[in-house]
Structure 1
């Protein structure tokens, strides 16, 4: 049995290593593509680029490792079944469950390693990755602005015609479009002949000094009939200073950019941070409730309305006051309601953002366990599925692996997004993909170990294409024979 276990383990490891290297290389190329604007044309030395890639690699493991295990399991066990090696094992009294024993031990150990990797290595790599980007922007401030194209920084779009200097800090032909805070487009345009970028290693502020330029700003008239004139203000300046906050370049990541600090923390650090955030959130809720309850108290309490329960409506209360006093009371009530409503909306948004931040930390904590469990899950899906479909190689196994992994990744992304927006508990959102696919793993393992559906026929997928192929080529060959006979 030791010889058989070594053979199965060796076959799996060869396939797993090959698949892992190929997939990891593909995801590295994707990372380079996502950050190509920060790497291309920046005059970075080779060592900095290597560091950039090395620090970005650990974050790819949660994607590459489960997919590699899934694909390698399907290919390995599919090849065993296709070559009737499982039939030989079963004839010798070796069940599928016994054949999987050595691999189960290996995958279990791999899942434990992946957990410690996610808890210790990935947070440190994320921290170094963020600081490397920040260091590059501080030591080479021109990296924030690429030459010959518009660059979005904060609420501005900046374009320069040419850069010079040791670090590209001297700019020529600067054009800036500043977006309006009201969301009505670009209302301000700044153009200057020259510019100088300045930065300090101990500061998150990148200073841009514009020299010899013009400042244009569109003015929206209050009267509608004057809007067709499109008035604007124009001013000349010799020096105009703009401060760019570099922390805006390191914020969270819906488009593949750097995530927040929750991804840089271990489980113990996340637990401490979550506890602090939740205590702060509870205090804010209590403080907000007290302020609202105190703000809506009616300040006018004359003797006539010492007991408001005696009155059936607000009209009866108003009627006890003079006419001129009633107008003042109504105006006061209107202003009080408007102020309270504004305060509620402001505090509601603030509390929602704090709750969202707490959810992000909970998601980051659960993700470390999901990575380990996904290794086991993908193995118990891939190994039985490979034995059932009886197909090895890179054909049908890749189709099944991609479909299963897309389902897993979509459910995982969807669950985390909904949980982050407080649409469901963070635990459920993070484990949603595992909850969906675990029944599939149980069903496939049961069917494979009990020889149910081992002879599943997939001809219903390929038969229509084969018929179409034969009909097309048979007609062509018949036409050619008829032409030959005619000649």
Structure 2
């Protein structure tokens, strides 16, 4: 019987392999197409080397792996156990006295191993890939467009020159009715070059030559004074202009010299930053409270926001003094002292309000930053943990549906995945806004699905039913 069980377990694992690989690569393809559609405008028209584009794609494949593995596990588990139940193999196993949980166990172990791999990948490999991809994106964003002339359109991306081409012959690449506006520099006068025809030639990627025929050059020669500018016009049969395209060449920066964000840091690095922020927050709170308690200039009023007034006047020993709502002011029998005392109190309170606002701003910024970092820490493990959850959900659901068709598996998976990822996204937003804790935001849906998975597994492997909990016979 033990030998039969081993063969059944192996058969189930083999049934997982094909659907898992198919779903994994399908998800990777879908996510890759989505990435290209979102960023194709940033890559096209800038003359980027093909290896730079490929490197950008490869570095962005990392986050796709973390998403695709749990999805592939869910679909393959639904298909394998659904087909196993559809072919009545589950009925035969039960008739042989074998607990169905023993069939789920090897798949659950495989899911646990994939969870460990995905968590390791998400914690150490994904941040580095995200950091390189982010640095590459910034370099590409700063890259100027390639030298690409369009008909009847001003081209101004080559510093010091503006090109205007009326017509471009697509068959011969000839330029018709060419205008080149040359800006004034230290070693070059302002000029306008016109020609009937022209063509481009580039011996290498950093040099461009423009050959012109039948044209003229209008040069603006400066005199001793601005008003003495001289215009000189010359004609040519053939003329050549050379341009330096090094400014248009792609330039890479060192990723290690760029700052890191929460999505480009490992768990250990983020927890270190969190500890630092908490220490800074505590030190600032201690410093603020000590300064307030040690200050003798800050009065404590019942309503610090109201306007301080002196009140009505009264005569006392030929001095005109004021009746104030503040007892301490009334003890001063000199109007000048009364006014000075109130002014000092107002100034101290204004200073206190400024310090208090600054303290609240810094404290809130650190609190929000801590929440963002902790959300990323929990997310690095909550999403990979779905590898275990989806085995506990997919196996019993597949047994109960008794259908291993990919359409049924895709339909059920779409519902579960929609619930899972919407909960993760919304949980992240709520945690970032401090409405819930980072742990609750990232693990609440996992707890719900884990509970459902355990109950469904008990449903197919034992006589336990949820209704037994409130049945009269129990």
State the TM-score, normalized to the length of structure 2.
0.64
Instruction: Give per-residue Cα distances to partners, 1:88-132, cap 9 Å, x unaligned.
Output: 322233332122232122112111111211122112111211222
Distance 1:347 1:170 in 2: 50
- Change over 3 Å in CA distance of 1:333–1:33 after alignment to 2: farther
- Change over 3 Å in CA distance of 1:9–1:147 after alignment to 2: farther
The structure with the largest alpha-carbon Rg is 2
Question: Residue 292 of structure 1: CA displacement?
Answer: 4.4
Q: Say yes or no: does 1:5 pair with 2:20.
A: no
What is residue 94 of structure 2 aligned with on the other side?
90
> Does the Cα contact within 8 Å between 1:79 and 1:392 map onto a contact in 2?
yes
- Change over 3 Å in CA distance of 1:296–1:414 after alignment to 2: farther
Distance 1:259 1:397 in 2: 43
Question: Residue 260 of structure 1: CA displacement?
Answer: 5.3
What is residue 164 of structure 1 aligned with on the other side?
157
Question: Residue 62 of structure 1: CA displacement?
Answer: 2.8
What is residue 357 of structure 2 aligned with on the other side?
345
Question: Greater helix percent: which structure?
Answer: 1
SS in 1 for 2:383: helix
What is residue 328 of structure 2 aligned with on the other side?
317
Q: Say yes or no: does 1:365 pair with 2:369.
A: no
- Map 1:61-100 to 2 at 5 A: 61-100=65-104
Instruction: Give per-residue Cα distances to partners, 1:380-409, cap 9 Å, x unaligned.
Output: 111111111223223333232122112111
- Change over 3 Å in CA distance of 1:171–1:427 after alignment to 2: farther
What is residue 470 of structure 2 aligned with on the other side?
none
What is residue 129 of structure 1 aligned with on the other side?
133
What is residue 208 of structure 1 aligned with on the other side?
none
What is residue 368 of structure 2 aligned with on the other side?
356
Distance 1:336 1:388 in 2: 73
More deviation, 276-285/290-299: 290-299
Distance 2:451 2:293 in 1: 50
What is residue 271 of structure 1 aligned with on the other side?
271
- Map 1:134-145 to 2 at 5 A: 134-137=138-141, 140-141=143-144
- Change over 3 Å in CA distance of 1:436–1:325 after alignment to 2: farther
> Does the Cα contact within 8 Å between 1:118 and 1:371 map onto a contact in 2?
no
> Does the Cα contact within 8 Å between 1:296 and 1:336 map onto a contact in 2?
no
What is residue 243 of structure 2 aligned with on the other side?
none
What is residue 187 of structure 1 aligned with on the other side?
none
Distance 2:345 2:162 in 1: 58
> Does the Cα contact within 8 Å between 1:81 and 1:387 map onto a contact in 2?
yes
Question: Residue 17 of structure 1: CA displacement?
Answer: 0.8
SS in 2 for 1:35: helix
Question: Residue 325 of structure 1: CA displacement?
Answer: 4.2
| Structure 1 unmatched runs, 5+ | 149-159, 174-192, 197-249, 251-257, 301-312, 454-487
- Change over 3 Å in CA distance of 1:172–1:451 after alignment to 2: farther
More deviation, 13-22/35-44: 35-44
> Does the Cα contact within 8 Å between 2:16 and 2:80 map onto a contact in 1?
yes
Give the length in aligned residue pairs: 345
What is residue 405 of structure 2 aligned with on the other side?
393
Give 1:408's match in structure 2, choosing from 420, 429, 432: 420
Question: Residue 337 of structure 1: CA displacement?
Answer: 3.1
Instruction: Give per-residue Cα distances to partners, 1:252-287, cap 9 Å, x unaligned.
Output: xxxxxx995222222333333332232222222223
> Does the Cα contact within 8 Å between 2:79 and 2:404 map onto a contact in 1?
yes
Question: Residue 374 of structure 1: CA displacement?
Answer: 1.7
CA RMSD of aligned residues (A): 3.5
Instruction: Give per-residue Cα distances to partners, 1:267-314, cap 9 Å, x unaligned.
Output: 3333333322322222222233334445673489xxxxxxxxxxxx95
Give 1:54's match in structure 2, choosing from 58, 63, 66: 58
Question: Residue 32 of structure 1: CA displacement?
Answer: 1.9
Distance 1:273 1:164 in 2: 42
Question: Residue 376 of structure 1: CA displacement?
Answer: 0.3
- Change over 3 Å in CA distance of 1:344–1:371 after alignment to 2: same
- Map 1:95-106 to 2 at 5 A: 95-106=99-110
- Map 1:109-258 to 2 at 5 A: 109-137=113-141, 140-141=143-144, 162-165=155-158
| Structure 2 unmatched runs, 5+ | 164-181, 186-254, 301-323, 466-474
Distance 1:163 1:392 in 2: 60
What is residue 285 of structure 2 aligned with on the other side?
285
Question: Residue 328 of structure 1: CA displacement?
Answer: 4.3
More deviation, 112-121/284-293: 284-293
Give 2:438's match in structure 1, choosing from 426, 432, 455: 426
State the TM-score, normalized to the length of structure 1.
0.63
Distance 2:27 2:10 in 1: 25
> Does the Cα contact within 8 Å between 2:299 and 2:349 map onto a contact in 1?
no
- Change over 3 Å in CA distance of 1:32–1:290 after alignment to 2: farther
> Does the Cα contact within 8 Å between 1:295 and 1:340 map onto a contact in 2?
no
SS in 2 for 1:392: coil
